[in-house]
Structure 1
Amino acid sequence: MPRRRKRPAILLVLVLVAALLIGLLVRTFVLRPLTVSSTSMEPTLCPGDRVLVNLWSPGLDDLSRGDLVALRLDGSEVPVVKRVVGLPGDEVAIRDALLYVNGDVVDEPYVDHKSIDALFYGPVVVPGDRLVVMGDARATSVDSRAYGPVSSERLLGTIAARWPTGDC
């Protein structure tokens, strides 16, 4: 009789160990949780919001303008979240608070244009292995306007899901 009781216990331990290993593999190579720590993406993301970063294939070919991405910038271990506004070959500019990509105005309902009235940037042509990223809170965001186009090597992944805290 004691043997029968040991088998379910051993099976339970094996299932738990397998679940932990699978969870660790998923967190390391597929999806990683991240807590937003700055106000640069307000009102889209607020400090304390949680996001899930898709690590699966964070290459430049997988990105579109408007995507939210997590990046690791030079000199910082803490990833940041920004919006892709320019892909390789694009000409990016801001004229009087409006974003222009390849000469066309980009509709950005998440940006408070009144807070950045008279803001100008560029034009900048995005090099082949880089992207231009900006925060939605353009008045306070430190982004490609300050540190230039970001190398694709700095890209961690795209934002797959978000859980707002409702604090902004």
Structure 2
Amino acid sequence: MSHASDPAATPKQPGRKRNPVWAAIREVLIIVVVALIISLVVKTFFFRAFYIPSGSMEETLQVNDRIFANLMVPGPFDLDRGDVVVFRDEEAWLPPVAAPDSNPVSEFFTFVGLVPDPSNQHLIKRIIGMPGDTVTCCSPDGNLTVNGVDIQEPYIYPGDNPSDIEFTKTVPEGKIWVMGDHRAASADSRYHEDLQGGFVDFSAVEGRAAVISWPLDRLGSISGHHEVFDDVPEPAGASSK
């Protein structure tokens, strides 16, 4: 008697011939749908593409760079001094712009998060002051101070001063003080005292700039230079990080 797993025991069953063209199309459609789902999840919860239109963050970021920002901050991973952040222009620091021309291809790539959304106004700057910090320009040595400690800023554009504007600012709760790395070409917190003191709301931050994705010869991570702030004490009344 033949065993059930014996091929001789299983009669040959006639079946419909598989259409190889439809099988190939079906496989491609499945791959596209899965890729779209993954892209939408990544765009919604993890990373988003942005475009650098100006030189305000040189030489860290160059005009026409494309970057990806980590959308997990602020949130599970907190922000810190030195982080380069992308934030919505909720206080109208930028002049209004006309809606750019688009086409179905660019709209598709924008939808899945592979290219920046040109319809939203965003800025990118470096965090210098966190809530409770007092940021001052300048010390007798010409440096910024944070909570009374001089900081040496290696990311500043060569030839720029830490600031040509004197100021002393204590950052309110729920806000940050931001400055561009190209200090002489950055209309940052210093220039918007008429708009909630120049401070940026935590809630306006889209995420932390994580990596330069284009051009390929600039591919790499974006440094927060946290070592610059190692000796800065926490503001009075704040819990340590």
TM-score (norm 2): 0.62
* Larger RCO (CA under 8 A, 6+ residues apart): 1
Which whole-Å CA distance do the structure 1 matches of 2:65 and 2:46 have between them? Answer: 20
Which whole-Å CA distance do the structure 1 matches of 2:127 and 2:17 have between them? Answer: 61
Alignment of 1:150-161 (within 5 A): 150-161=200-211
Number of equivalenced pairs: 167
Identity of aligned residues (%): 35
Displacement, 1:116?
A: 3.0
Query: Tell me, which stretches of 5 or more residues in structure 1 are unaligned?
Result: none
Which whole-Å CA distance do the structure 2 matches of 1:22 and 1:163 have between them? Answer: 18
Q: Which residue of 2 aligns with 1:49?
A: 65
Displacement, 1:54?
A: 0.7
* Structure with the bigger percentage of strand: 1
Max radius of gyration: which structure? 2
CA deviations 1:35-69 (Å, max 9, x no partner) are 11111101111111111111123249711111111
TM-score (norm 1): 0.86
Q: Which residue of 2 aligns with 1:101?
A: 146
CA gap of 1:4–1:61, structure 2 versus 1, over 3 A, is: closer
CA gap of 1:52–1:117, structure 2 versus 1, over 3 A, is: closer
1:82 aligns with 2:125: yes
Q: Which residue of 2 aligns with 1:121?
A: 166
CA gap of 1:118–1:86, structure 2 versus 1, over 3 A, is: closer
What is the aligned-residue RMSD (CA, Å)? Answer: 2.5
Alignment of 1:2-81 (within 5 A): 2-3=17-18, 5=20, 6-59=22-75, 62-73=78-89, 74-75=91-92, 77-81=120-124
Q: Which residue of 1 aligns with 2:134?
A: 91
